[in-house]
Amino acid sequence: MSFKAPGPNDTGLLPDGTYDATIHACEQRTSKNGNDMLSLTLAVYTDAGQRYVYDHVMLAGPAAWRLRALCDACGFQEGEDLEAENFSDANVRVRLETEHDEKYGDKNRVKSYLAPSKAKRQVAPPPPPSDVDVPF
């Protein structure tokens, strides 16, 4: 298999913006500081295909507002008992921004979670009944 070496402008990053996404995987983990969090793998959709973006959402503390936004985007109700698995396969929209990191390089960061776009939620109406007689 052959491939091309990336050029200086081939960052592999998605441009800052809002994208449709599906939560591919979600696990409850413990952060380095001993706090409970969700570790998410998101399949983010673009015109060129899909890319994976990773995020961590704290379950308590000052950053817990992100958990509320994630629950709202997934359609969960306040007070609903949840497990990490409940988030898997949920369709959401994410607002991505580029985070600059001198140690690890630039990366896409989820800045917010939004409800899925209307186009994703709409269900096609059933086909009209056929006038053809059924042979049985």
130 inside domain: no
Question: How many domains in the chain?
Answer: 1
6 inside domain: no
**Residue 117 Cα distances to 14, 36, 87, 91, 92, angstroms:** 19, 30, 17, 9, 8
| CATH code assigned at 66 | 2.40.50
Please give the residue range of the domain that contains residue 96: 17-117
Mean pLDDT along residues 99-126: 76
DSSP letters for the chain: -------TT---PPPSEEEEEEEEEEEEEE-TTS-EEEEEEEEEEETTEEEEEEEEEESSSTTTHHHHHHHHHHTPPTT----GGGGTT-EEEEEEEEEP-TTT--EEEEEEEEPPPHHHH--PPPPPPP-SPP--
Residue 22 φ/ψ region, left for φ over 0, alpha for ψ in the -120 to 50 degree band, beta for the rest: beta
pLDDT tens, residue by residue, 5-51: 665 555 678 999 999 999 999 999 999 999 999 999 999 999 888 99
Higher pLDDT among residues 123 and 38, named by residue: 38
82 inside domain: yes
- Band of the pLDDT at 124, cuts 50, 70, 90? very low
10 inside domain: no
Amino acid 117: pLDDT = 73
Amino acid in position 11: T
- Does position 121 have pLDDT exceeding 50, yes or no? no
| Residue owning tokens 């399949």 | 43
1 inside domain: no
135 inside domain: no
pTM above 0.85, yes or no: no
- Band of the pLDDT at 129, cuts 50, 70, 90? low
87 inside domain: yes
pLDDT tens, residue by residue, 57-76: 999 999 889 999 999 999 99
- Does position 1 have pLDDT exceeding 60, yes or no? yes
- Does position 119 have pLDDT exceeding 50, yes or no? no
2 inside domain: no
Q: Phi and psi of 67, rounded to 5°?
A: -65, -40
Amino acid 122: pLDDT = 37
